[in-house]
A and B are shown apart, each in its own frame.
Chain A
Amino acid sequence: EVQLVESGGGLVQPGGSLRLSCAASGFTFSAYWMHWVRQEPGKGLVWVSRVSADGSTTTYADSVQGRFTISRDNANNTVFLQMNSLRAEDTAVYNCAREVTGIGRSLDYWGQGTLVTVSS
Chain B
Amino acid sequence: DIQMTQSPSSLSASIGDRVTITCRASQSISTFLSWYQEKPGQAPKLLIFAASSLQTGVPSRFSGSGSGTDFTLTISSLQPEDFATYYCQQSYSVPRTFGQGTNLEIK
Contact = CB atoms under 8 A, between A and B. Distances in A.
Interface of A: 35, 37, 44-47, 50, 59, 61-62, 95, 97, 100, 103-113
A112 B43 contact: yes
Given A45-B87, A46-B98, A47-B98, A106 B49 contact: yes
Contacts of A47: 89, 94-98
B32 A104 contact: yes
Contacts of B60: none
B12 interface: no
**Which of B49, B94, B95 has its CB near the most chain A CB atoms (within 10 A)?**
B95
Contacts of A61: 95
Contact of A50 (B34, B94, B100, B101): B94
Interface in B13-51: 31-32, 34, 36, 38, 42-46, 49-50
A80 to B, nearest CB: 19
Contacts of A50: 94, 96
B91 interface: yes
A106 B43 CA distance: 15
**Which of A45, A61, A107 has its CB near the most chain B CB atoms (within 10 A)?**
A45
B104 to A, nearest CB: 14
A11 B5 CA distance: 33
B53 interface: yes
A104 B42 CA distance: 23
B95 A100 contact: no
A111 B45 CA distance: 10
Given A107-B89, A112-B42, 11 more contacts: A45-B36, A45-B89, A47-B98, A59-B94, A59-B95, A61-B95, A62-B1, A104-B50, A108-B49, A109-B46, A112-B43
B55 interface: yes
B44 A110 contact: yes
A110 B89 CA distance: 14
Given A105-B32, A106-B34, A95 B100 contact: no
B98 A62 contact: no
A44 B50 CA distance: 21
B49 A111 contact: no
